[in-house]
Amino acid sequence: MEQRIVTNRRPFSWKSFLLQWEWMLVLIFIGINIMNMSLSEYYWSFDSLRDATMTFLDKAFIVLPMVLIIILGDIDISVASIVALASVIMADLYTMGVPMPLAMLICLAVGTLCGFVNGLLIVKFKELSAVIVTLSTMIIYRGIAYIILEDQAAGKFPDWFSFLGWGYVGPVPFILIVFAVFAAAFILLLHKTTFGRRVYAMGNNITASRFSGVQVDKIKLIVFTLAGFMAAVTALFLTSRMGSTRPNVATGYELDVIAMVVLGGISTAGGKGKMIGAILAVFLIGFLRYGLGLVNVPAQMLLIILGLLLIVAVMIPKIKLGKQGRI
Amino acid sequence: MGHFLEMRKISKRFNDNMVLSEVDFAADKAQVHAIIGENGAGKSTLMKILSGLFLPDSGEIWMDGEPISIQNPKQAQEHGIAMIYQEIRLFPDLNIAENVFMRREPLRTMRWPRLIDWDQAYRETEKLLQYLGLPLHARAIVKTLTIAQQKFVEMIKALSHDAKIIIMDEPTAALTEQEIELLFKVIKDVKKLGVSIIYISHRIEEIQQIADKVTVLRDGEVTQSALSSELDMTALIQAMVGRQLEDRYPKLKVKHGKEALRVEKLGFNGRIRNISLEVKKGEILGITGLSGSGRRTLAKVLFGIHGPYEGEIHMNGKAFKAMSPHIAKSHGLCYVTGITSEEGLIMNASISENIVLPNLDRVSHAGFLSTGRESEYARDLIDRLEISADEKEIVQSLSGGKQKKVILAKWLFASAKVLIMEEPTAGIDIASKLDIYNIMNELVLSGASIIMISSDLPEIMGMSDRIAVMYNGQIRKTFLKEEATQAGILYFASGGKDT
């Protein structure tokens, strides 16, 4: 019947490979480094760059599961509150005499439980969107943290605990190693496993996924629970770096994290984006912040730059689409 | 000469594909002119040129004896050309009149502030509704209407634009027999107003009922253009496909085996009640009924989408609880949905990604995907179902027939034993239809069972071993293939009872 054979298979082309947003991020990253180098002579040294990563990597742990959540087309704005609650409970237990290793495990358990509760609410009450659910739990978790510590600081952790945030293994910061392990695990999870495939499918069309027998509720639950767990990991490293904790710790982290994910090219409409993009965005924002900090650029200025970058990140796919969309 | 609308020697190519070559087409006032042809024959392209979506590479359009230029949809509208697409393009949360007068609301005479004269809008809408004999209120919210009623709203919208030419693309695709009859009545009424109607369709049987003239396109060329009274069905099919189709329903006689699925006293939420049925291995059970009869609900309850339900479902003699699609799937029961883009496919994923989704375990080791095996299986199925596309192709770019085949391929890949197929051939061309019927044959030969839910009566009668007719959530009557007549099915489908 159909004599003409239609193939829409796109052959591999360097052009489309290099036109990916992730390469754009690499370019911006290089640009930022060049800019920083010309701004400050202290910027380009292995030691200072290595130490800089320690200051921004703590929240990067949450970026990893947030990529999954945003690919699902959902969002979780309670993560910063989970960090605070997990951190505060750990500190409180330790001051009450619980051994530190056990307190750390409980910290992880608390975070996981918080994430599980988020997921359960989202899955059970389908009429509530993830924004509404996590907005509520954001307030609740932070509230509980305040009840426990009553706006006080808690700390005086054992000396070895500071290793998490400040320690080195050889020349490499411990936090960087842990992050690299988690990042590799999440890259594999999203891009190489059936789980990741299902996450992408759900983000593109949740009804068709469900109609294909994908256990959509189970996957959502797992993803939100993972976010809770990773928020607790952040709590460990952040608390260690600061040496003490307060109920208002990590305020605003959720927006930083979401900004990194979006800058990483993950579409808030769901279904699109790569883990590596978000990881690049973590380093990009981190180095930008560090470099501008060196030359005393005010923090507000940095926010403006970040905002502009975000707009570009959101605009570029639209512009490309707009060109293709016309027939 | 002297036609109201003439398209002369229209040619159009996309890249290297000649989609239309020197097509002539003419339409007159107060006439229904059908354009038929298979998918890819160029009917939609021709009509998109007329409605200003595409520019032709060459050719002219004449109206009322004068050449006109149509550069964009707005100009087409100014010339009185309106197109009613296959998918409804209305605002579901607005009411009929608001939709009809969208973006050209009548204004009050007061100069400032410019207020909308809703009284006039409702009056005019009611007038048109009355003329067409539709029992609808101008304030009815569009999403509460049936698909057929929404088509009428689009029709009224076109009329209120003073459309002189209304193009309808596959208007009967999602309609039941009864709704189609009403649609035809409405079309005849609109025709009386002097409007020229261009009717694009695959369904040849409809053409003779509604069309005054027929033009057949094949591979971008006109193969036949004549008064519909001069052509019979076989001649039309031949003009469409270029070869004689012996049998439109190649049903094979297959020996039936043991019982595969048995349903006892199934009920859900009052939408289906007291449904008992069974399907044997190798059997095709047809289920038909008007829209709202509960056909789709039945399928969704069986597949675990709607629940909790009353009654029992047995697979291979064992009771099981259809709590979710996942559970139904793992018991070998699947639902080949009739709604491609929302329920059937991930539109911007590739063919292979869609095919393997229901059974990712088959292409993975310990949770890790093997893309090599994925492509391999996908290519196998693409060959077997004659989809003729690359497995990396994005399903969005496929024709409707190929998309339907991809949905089917998903469930063949998941080795489903009982397939609930909903409207398996709606809106696709004859050749693809035949392919799908042949796959159904192949499936039952291999011992699978099929529940075919369809509103296409010839198809139901041609392909089923038994036919269950639903009305108001219940099965009213089950026919054996030999006993079934169109009249008999319609009698029970519209609420008739055994006497």
Secondary structure, 3-state, B63-93: ECCEEECCCCHHHHHHCCEEEECCCCCCCCC
By the CB < 8 Å criterion, does A23 face chain B? no
| Interface-testing mutation among A4, A194, A272, A327, with chain B (most B C-beta atoms within 10 A) | A194
User: Shortest Cα distance from B419 to chain A (angstroms)?
Assistant: 13
List, for chain B, all residue ranges whose pLDDT scores fall below the cut of 70: 1, 15-17, 39-40, 242-247, 499
Q: Residue B144: how many CA atoms within 13 Å on its side-chain side?
A: 9
CA distance B305 to B448: 22
Q: Is B443 on the interface with A (CB under 8 A)?
A: no
Of B280, B255, B262, the closest CA to residue B317 belongs to: B262
Q: How far apart are CA B397 and CA A238, in angstroms?
A: 49
The predicted model scores a pTM of 0.77
> What type of residue sits at position A323?
K
HEC-encoded secondary structure of B140-205: CEHHHCCHHHHHHHHHHHHHHCCCCEEEEECCCCCCCHHHHHHHHHHHHHHHHCCCEEEEEECCHH
Q: Phi/psi zone of residue B377: left (φ > 0), alpha (ψ -120 to 50 degrees), beta?
A: alpha
* pLDDT recorded at residue A161: 94
Name B285's bridge partners.
B451, B466
- What's the angle, vertex CA A22, arms to CA A20 and CA A25, rounded to 5? 120
Cβ of residue B410 closer than 8 Å to a chain A Cβ: yes
Check residue B15 and give its pLDDT.
Answer: 65
Q: What domain count does chain A have?
A: 1
Quote the domain boundaries for residue A171: 56-250
B394/A194 touch (CB, cutoff 8 Å), yes or no = no
Instruction: Measure the CA–CA gap between B434 and B421, rounded to whole angstroms.
Output: 15
Structural domain contains residue A1: no
* Nearest by Cα to A223 from A325, A9, A73, A106: A73
Q: Nearest C-alpha of chain A: how many angstroms from B44?
A: 15
Does the structure show a pLDDT above 60 at A140? yes
B360 touches A at CB < 8 Å: yes
Contact criterion met (CB < 8 Å) for A197 and B357 = yes
Whether residue B451 contacts residue B301, with contact meaning beta carbons closer than 8 Å, is answered with: no
| Residue A326 in this model has a pLDDT that exceeds 60 | no
Asked, for residue A271, whether it belongs to a domain, the answer is no
**Token pair of B351 as six digits:** 């063919």
Residue A38 lies in a domain: no
Q: What is the pLDDT of residue B285?
A: 96
Question: CA-CA distance, A114 to A228, in Å (whole number)?
Answer: 6
Q: Is residue A99 part of a domain?
A: yes
Instruction: For residue A208, give the chain B residue with the closest CA.
Output: B343
Q: What is the CATH number of domain B5-241?
A: 3.40.50.300
Question: Is some CB atom of chain A closer than 8 A to the CB atom of B324?
Answer: yes
State the Cα torsion A110-A116-A118-A123 to the nearest 10°: -170
Residues of chain B with CATH 3.40.50.300: 5-241, 259-493
Q: Rounded to 5 degrees, what are φ and ψ at B262?
A: -130, 135
Which residues from chain B sit within 8 angstroms of residue A213, using beta carbons? 325-326, 328-330, 334, 358, 414
Instruction: Tell me, yes or no, if B2 comes closer than 8 A to chain A by beta carbon.
Output: no
Task: Grade residue A327 by pLDDT with cuts at 50, 70 and 90.
Answer: very low
CB atoms A197 and B353 under 8 Å:
yes
Chain B: residue whose CA lies nearest to A4? B17
Q: Identify the architecture of domain B259-493 in CATH.
A: 3-Layer(aba) Sandwich (3.40)
In a domain, A266, yes or no: no
Q: Which residue has the higher pLDDT, B238 or A25?
A: A25
Percent of chain A scoring above 70 in pLDDT: 91
Q: In terms of Cα–Cα distance, which of B196, B230, B244 is closest to B81?
A: B196
Residue B247 pLDDT: 65
Tens digits of per-residue pLDDT, A47-83? 888 888 888 999 999 999 999 999 999 999 999 999 9
Please tell me the predicted confidence (pLDDT) of residue B218. Answer: 84
**Which of A2, A192, A204 has its CB closest to that of B349?**
A204
What is the spatial distance between Cα A91 and Cα A153, in angstroms, rounded to a whole number?
Answer: 9
CB contact under 8 A, A8 and B38: no
User: Does B368 touch chain A if contact means CB atoms closer than 8 Å?
Assistant: yes
Size of interface A-B (CB pairs under 8 A): 94
CA of A17 to nearest chain B CA: how many angstroms apart? 16
Both structure tokens of B300: 């969704």
All residues of chain B having their beta carbon less than 8 Å from the beta carbon of residue A72 are none
- Among A148-157, A189-198, A271-280, which stretch is predicted with the lowest mean pLDDT? A148-157
What's the start-to-end Cα distance of chain A, in Å? 26
Domain membership of residue A233 (yes or no) is: yes
Q: How far apart are CA B455 and CA B290, in angstroms?
A: 7
The ipTM, to two decimals, is: 0.85
The partner residue sitting opposite A213, judged by closest CB among B358, B364, B368, is B358
Kindly state whether residue A7 falls inside one of the protein's structural domains.
no
